[in-house]
A and B are shown apart, each in its own frame.
Chain A
Amino acid sequence: GQQVMQIPQYQHVQEGEDFTTYCNSSTTLSNIQWYKQRPGGHPVFLIQLVKSGEVKKQKRLTFQFGEAKKNSSLHITATQTTDVGTYFCAPGSQGNLIFGKGTKLSVKP
């Protein structure tokens, strides 16, 4: 079945540094969603990307969908302690989401 690989699995950054997580698929995706899960919390929807080469921004977060629609990335500029958590990419297929294993971000103040 469809699977996505997220890298890195863990990322430790100093507050103020940038952070990027990547999501790669061996097959072409129709869409991709990004979710954030705070420690001890539940996933929260961040964004949906559907177009080839699409770039969307939410304040310090920039989301990209690759030209071939096989990869996606989330970039956070100047991380803050509130960015701590696990970021999941999740392509949608036939009405269901397929979650990657996530990238766990920790931020040192």
Chain B
Amino acid sequence: DGGITQSPKYLFRKEGQNVTLSCEQNLNHDAMYWYRQDPGQGLRLIYYSQIVNDFQKGDIAEGYSVSREKKESFPLTVTSAQKNPTAFYLCASSRDQSSYEQYFGPGTRLTVT
């Protein structure tokens, strides 16, 4: 069963702690993306990766970090430097960066108090 998995679905953290969100895909896609969604808003791009061992900042990369050591995996770390980390985080992938048909994971809802 091909697709994108994100875990966990809900995550609670205390302010000042770093937290890593998991994203795995078995679609053999080259490109992967991280988005943030706030209530009533569209999706904003945090980071993207076109290929293994390479990634680029999106529109709102401050306070976040990523790695792409394997084609299947693109974890996102929300650092303590991110001022408003509470949000719904969505991971997506596409065949390659020329394809705008992106496949999304189920998302992780992060709450920081």
Question: Which residues of A line the B interface, CB within 8 A?
Answer: 1, 9, 31, 33, 41-45, 48, 88, 90, 92, 95-97, 99-102, 104
Contacts and interface: CB of A to CB of B under 8 A. Distances in A.
A32 B100 CA distance: 9
A48 B106 contact: no
A45 B33 CA distance: 15
A88 B42 CA distance: 8
A100 B40 CA distance: 11
Contact of A101 (B33, B40, B90, B101): B40
Nearest to B107: A42
Interface in B44-98: 44-45, 48, 50, 58-59, 90, 92, 97-98
26 contacts: A1-B59, A9-B40, A41-B106, A42-B106, A43-B90, A44-B104, A45-B103, A48-B101, A88-B43, A95-B48, A95-B50, A95-B97, A95-B98, A96-B33, A96-B48, A96-B58, A96-B97, A97-B43, A97-B45, A97-B100, A97-B102, A99-B35, A99-B44, A100-B42, A101-B40, A104-B40
